[in-house]
Amino acid sequence: MNKQKFSLVLKILLLIIALGLLIFSLMSGFENSGGFKNLPNGLPWLVMLIIVLVAFRWEIIGAILLILFGIFTALFFSFGIVFFIITLPILALGTILLFMSLLF
């Protein structure tokens, strides 16, 4: 698999993760709060979606922003089980994308 295909697969996987987290955060309290009171929970994941879209255009900048976002989520969620579910995939995929951009 060449660099362009592998990079595209990584970015699509990041896009799926970002959209999934955004949709989950918006819908998680929707039935109890009457709808739009839960919108602030989706803002961090909207930022992640924007970072992923930046990575589609500018790969190195997007990868660095993803790594920084992953560090932020690690500090925000601390290092519990959420670290392995949310933060670790973001950090791993951002790091792989950065190394793919710089080395190949």
Q: Name the pTM for this structure.
A: 0.88
Rg (CA), the chain: 15
Nearest alpha-carbon partner for 52 in 67, 68, 66: 66
**pLDDT value at position 34?**
63
Above 70 in pLDDT, residue 49? yes
* Mean pLDDT along residues 50-62: 95
Domain boundaries, the chain: 3-103
**pLDDT value at position 64?**
96
CA 8, 13, 16 angle in degrees (round to 5)?
A: 125
* Mean pLDDT along residues 38-49: 87
* Nearest-angstrom CA–CA distance, 21 and 89: 12
pLDDT digits (tens, 9 = 90+) for 59-100: 999 999 999 999 998 888 777 787 788 889 999 999 999 999
* Nearest-angstrom CA–CA distance, 17 and 9: 12
Q: Provide CB contacts within 8 A for 70, sequence distance 6+.
A: 87, 90, 91, 94
Place of tokens 């933060």: 87
**pLDDT value at position 77?**
79
